[in-house]
Chain A
Amino acid sequence: MRVENFLRSSALRTPQKTALVAGRARLGYGDLDLMSDRLAAAFRTRGVARGDRVAVFMDNGWEAVVTIFAVLKAGAVFVPINPSTKPEKLAHLLGHCRAAAIMTQARRVGVAAAALADAPSVRLALVCGDCCVPEAADWLRFEQAILDTEDAPPESKSVGAGSDLAMLIYTSGTTGVPKGVMMTHRNVEAAATLVNAYLENRADDTILSALPISFSYGLYQVFMAFMVGATVVLENSFAFPQAILNRMKEEQVTGLPLVPTMAALILQMRDLKPGDFPHLRYITNAASPLPPTHIARLQELFPAARIFSMYGQTECKRATYLPPEQLALRPDSVGLAMPGTEAYVVDEAGQRVGPGIVGELVVSGPHVMQGYWENPEATGQALRPGALPGWNVLYTGDLFRADAEGFLYFVARKDDIIKTRGEKVSPKEVEDVLYALPGVEEAVVFGVPDPILGMAIKAVVACDPGAPLTSDEVIRHCARHLEDFMVPKIVEFRTGLPKSDNGKIVRRQIAELALGAQT
């Protein structure tokens, strides 16, 4: 089934049922289906064709969800982009996938307009919300498009096949250049079905997601809910955990997907009492392992909830989950492969290793990506032929071990990618931005442990002695060019950075020294 049919089917079955709650907006399945049909027609009449890429550069909200389904109904490929992306990177991403169109919101119009100056492939720009910016004067208004009945086809018909690409999700890589993960409709259907199965999501569930829809963990909350006709409550920020908890009570939320940073913020609260949320039947964790002490405290606070520790990556959406009954026995495990898929540890030669031996985790199944957009080299490194024809094995780049019963444990990244606030950050991407600041002669970026963020980003910089910089200046510069989660939290200045024998700055060495100095 193509992804837009999750919405169509649920709209046929339960048109009045609340599909989405976002801010003060409450939308039924019928409403969403109708609005996305109209927007899809608007895309088609304005030349968006099957397979075209459409960037969705928006915060979490009902407009973003309508847009995503409209793009799919038009047979096109949506490209969700983190809303804190700055103009240069946005222009790069639009150019890289030769996007035909972009949808954004009034708040981001300035950034989008600046990016469009360098993105000639984009023929159609849309905006939602109150916007009076001259650069967007001839942009199509979302509100107009969803009310317009003229373009709407007499019956809703799907354009395209299940084997078509549904989405392109850009993910950070070690080279500093983001890679576009290609997922077909079949990939998405497979992944959503697999995760819904172990979470046992049903129509009477209400899932609250404060995770950005620009990455798969957040995006799939919508897909999984729509597949079964459940309700999703979308929030934009976890800055105020109390506000989230209030919402959970109001909406009688049954499912809460978290990343460790959110769990840490909940556990920082002072007045939370066990048993305040009897409706909450599950909590999930992904992006980084949840410390066992945090798992235990969460369980105390939410005794009715089952806690799922999970692991995955954009390239396969999810790979493993730990059945909650196993938490008491092995709280630091991320579990087993989802049924119908494989996830196992291999050595450098690609051979399976025995229990206790650290190696790279590989994954295979219908959820594994098709490859990286127009990047055969990176694709060739990540995807290698498996035992059966057409069945690729994904090399995750994560080091794992298994125990005697086959349960898996995350050990470390093979490369220097930093996981902070649940997001991937490429040190090289941050370093490239630092080098663009006049006065910076040498720079190295790595993660340091942080109780809330998991890892915080630290930059060590050597400046031109004639033009010394302050931390504020360095951070401000980074904030202008990088997404918010990539901006260094700590800046340290040194007169020179240690180098290896061949004159290269060795990031790992400096990071280890820094950690050693801390402990």
Chain B
Amino acid sequence: MTDDILSRVRTFIEENFLFRADASDLSDTDSLLESGVMDSTGVLEIVAFLESEFSVEMKDAEIVPENLDSISSITAYLERTLARAIAA
């Protein structure tokens, strides 16, 4: 399940952002902000993608670098959120 989430997130980032920053070798843990891949509108696009693709609803307090600033952070956030949804 992790690999599936991670690869879907990576695909989205690669298809929508990488050509902008010319950052072709983005690792799972690289900061999306610092590498220039993501800016303010980028964050909005990622949130929109996560909400529609994974049916999560992100609260303001969750839209923070800890959850969104790298492919692995996003994956970890999704796993936690989806696990909570299943448990509930």
- Binary contact track A478-519/B, C-beta < 8 Å → 1, others 0: 011000100100000000000000000000000000000000
Kindly state the separation between the CA atoms of A479 and B64 in the bound complex, as whole angstroms.
25
Contacts of B39 in A (CB 8 A): 237, 239, 484
Please list the 9 inter-chain residue pairs (A to B) with the smallest Cβ-Cβ separation, ordered nearest first.
A476-B19, A271-B60, A472-B19, A239-B40, A239-B43, A269-B60, A242-B60, A479-B20, A242-B63
Query: Is A272's CB under 8 angstroms from B60's CB?
Result: yes
A453 within 8 A of B: yes
- Chain A residue nearest in CB terms to B32: A239
Kindly state the separation between the CA atoms of A84 and B35 in the bound complex, as whole angstroms.
11
Q: Which of A234-250 contact B (CB under 8 A)?
A: 236-243, 246
Kindly state the separation between the CA atoms of A246 and B62 in the bound complex, as whole angstroms.
12
Query: Is A452's CB under 8 angstroms from B36's CB?
Result: no
A320 within 8 A of B: no
Query: Is B60's CB under 8 angstroms from A479's CB?
Result: no
Residue of A242, A265, A272, A479 near B22 (CB, 8 A) is: A479
Contacts of B65 in A (CB 8 A): 240, 243
**Chain B contact residue count (CB 8 A cutoff):** 21
B41 within 8 A of A: yes
Contacts of B76 in A (CB 8 A): none
> Can you list 23 pairs linking A and B with CB atoms under 8 Å apart?
A107-B34, A237-B40, A238-B40, A239-B39, A239-B40, A239-B43, A240-B63, A240-B64, A240-B65, A265-B40, A265-B44, A269-B60, A270-B60, A271-B60, A473-B19, A475-B19, A475-B20, A476-B22, A479-B20, A479-B21, A484-B21, A484-B39, A487-B20
- Chain B residue nearest in CB terms to A59: B34
What residues of chain A have their CB less than 8 Å away from a CB belonging to chain B?
A: 84, 107, 236-243, 246, 261-262, 265, 268-272, 421, 452-453, 472-473, 475-476, 479-480, 484, 487
- Tell me how far the C-beta of A287 lies from the nearest C-beta in chain B, rounded to whole angstroms: 14
Contacts of B64 in A (CB 8 A): 240, 242-243, 246
Contacts of A421 in B (CB 8 A): 40
Kindly state the separation between the CA atoms of A19 and B70 in the bound complex, as whole angstroms.
31
Query: Is B21's CB under 8 angstroms from A268's CB?
Result: no
Kindly state the separation between the CA atoms of A268 and B38 in the bound complex, as whole angstroms.
18
- Tell me how far the C-beta of B43 lies from the nearest C-beta in chain A, rounded to whole angstroms: 5
- Tell me how far the C-beta of A247 lies from the nearest C-beta in chain B, rounded to whole angstroms: 11
User: Given A476-B20, A484-B36, A484-B39, is A452 in contact with B63 using a C-beta cutoff of 8 Å?
Assistant: no
Interface centre among B19, B43, B61, B65 (most CB of A within 10 A): B19
- Tell me how far the C-beta of B30 lies from the nearest C-beta in chain A, rounded to whole angstroms: 12
- Chain B residue nearest in CB terms to A476: B19
- Binary contact track B41-56/A, C-beta < 8 Å → 1, others 0: 1111000000000000
B6 within 8 A of A: no
B74 within 8 A of A: no
- Tell me how far the C-beta of B10 lies from the nearest C-beta in chain A, rounded to whole angstroms: 17
Contacts of B80 in A (CB 8 A): none
Kindly state the separation between the CA atoms of A272 and B20 in the bound complex, as whole angstroms.
31
- Chain A residue nearest in CB terms to B65: A240
Query: Is B38's CB under 8 angstroms from A271's CB?
Result: no
Query: Is A242's CB under 8 angstroms from B61's CB?
Result: yes
B33 within 8 A of A: yes
- Tell me how far the C-beta of A240 lies from the nearest C-beta in chain B, rounded to whole angstroms: 6
Contacts of B61 in A (CB 8 A): 242, 271
Query: Is B44's CB under 8 angstroms from A268's CB?
Result: yes
- Binary contact track B10-42/A, C-beta < 8 Å → 1, others 0: 000000000111100000000001101011111
Kindly state the separation between the CA atoms of A271 and B63 in the bound complex, as whole angstroms.
11
User: Given A268-B44, A269-B60, A271-B61, is A240 in contact with B68 using a C-beta cutoff of 8 Å?
Assistant: yes
Residue of A242, A261, A270, A479 near B40 (CB, 8 A) is: A261
Query: Is B41's CB under 8 angstroms from A237's CB?
Result: no
- Chain A residue nearest in CB terms to B35: A107
Kindly state the separation between the CA atoms of A236 and B33 in the bound complex, as whole angstroms.
10
Kindly state the separation between the CA atoms of A232 and B36 in the bound complex, as whole angstroms.
25
- Tell me how far the C-beta of B85 lies from the nearest C-beta in chain A, rounded to whole angstroms: 19
Kindly state the separation between the CA atoms of A472 and B64 in the bound complex, as whole angstroms.
28
Kindly state the separation between the CA atoms of A389 and B33 in the bound complex, as whole angstroms.
50
Contacts of A243 in B (CB 8 A): 64-65
- 5 additional A-B pairs beyond A238-B40, A270-B60, A479-B20, beta carbons within 8 Å, are A237-B39, A242-B61, A261-B40, A271-B60, A479-B19
